[in-house]
């Protein structure tokens, strides 16, 4: 009985692995068909899954947003300032596209491990006392500026053309 149960689990695992491989191939094929995904493919540590999420969730926002500020607000990368009388508070933006925020934050969090510029933006935010999620949102907002430029200028991301990345490399 135990041998049959283990055998069934092994067969199920093989089917699951085959399904994952099939989904990976479909994801890759879908990305090849996306008109703008190639512009963002060279971003540091984006990978196929994250690229697919960014293209699917952030891409439509980049298409329809009239300004960069509109895109950052809709993606949840811009804070909200609330003021009343003499008090003023900057808070987390709850009214946002959560799937776009998650896709952007996942990419931004990963990017800091291979991009010196992203690592510096994140580290500077942490040094200013920001908690990890807030620092990632700050980095996501910075990456969204880069994505906006690539998306609207039909330019493939190139770290050699990224001014802040170049300036940081020149200092080291």
Written as tens digits, the pLDDT of the chain (172 aa) is: 889 999 999 999 999 999 988 888 887 777 777 888 889 989 999 988 889 889 989 999 999 999 999 999 999 888 888 888 888 887 888 888 899 999 999 999 999 999 999 999 999 999 999 999 999 999 999 999 999 999 999 999 988 887 776 666 666 5
With 0-12 / 13-18 / 19 or more C-beta atoms within 10 angstroms meaning exposed / middle / buried, residue 68 is: middle
Q: What are the start-end ranges of the E strands in 3-114?
A: 80-84, 87-91
Per the CB < 8 A criterion, the answer to whether 69 and 141 are in contact is no
Nearest to 137 by CA among 117, 103, 110, 108: 108
- This prediction has a pTM of 0.79
């Amino acid at each position: 009985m135990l041998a049959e149960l283990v055998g069934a689990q092994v067969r199920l695992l093989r089917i699951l692995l085959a399904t994952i491989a099939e989904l990976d191939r479909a994801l890759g094929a879908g990305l090849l068909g996306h008109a703008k995904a190639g512009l963002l493919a060279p971003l540091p540590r984006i990978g196929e899954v994250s690229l697919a999420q960014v293209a699917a969730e952030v891409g439509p926002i980049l298409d329809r947003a009239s300004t960069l500020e509109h895109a950052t607000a809709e993606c949840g990368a811009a804070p909200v300032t609330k003021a009343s009388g003499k008090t003023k508070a900057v808070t987390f933006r709850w009214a946002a596209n959560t799937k776009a925020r998650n896709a952007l934050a996942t990419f931004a969090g990963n990017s800091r491990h291979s991009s010196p510029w992203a690592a510096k933006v994140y580290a500077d935010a942490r040094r200013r006392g920001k908690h990890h999620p807030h620092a990632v949102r700050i980095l996501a907002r910075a990456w969204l500026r880069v994505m906006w430029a690539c998306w609207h200028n039909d330019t493939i991301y190139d770290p050699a053309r990224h001014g802040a990345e170049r300036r940081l490399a020149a200092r080291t």
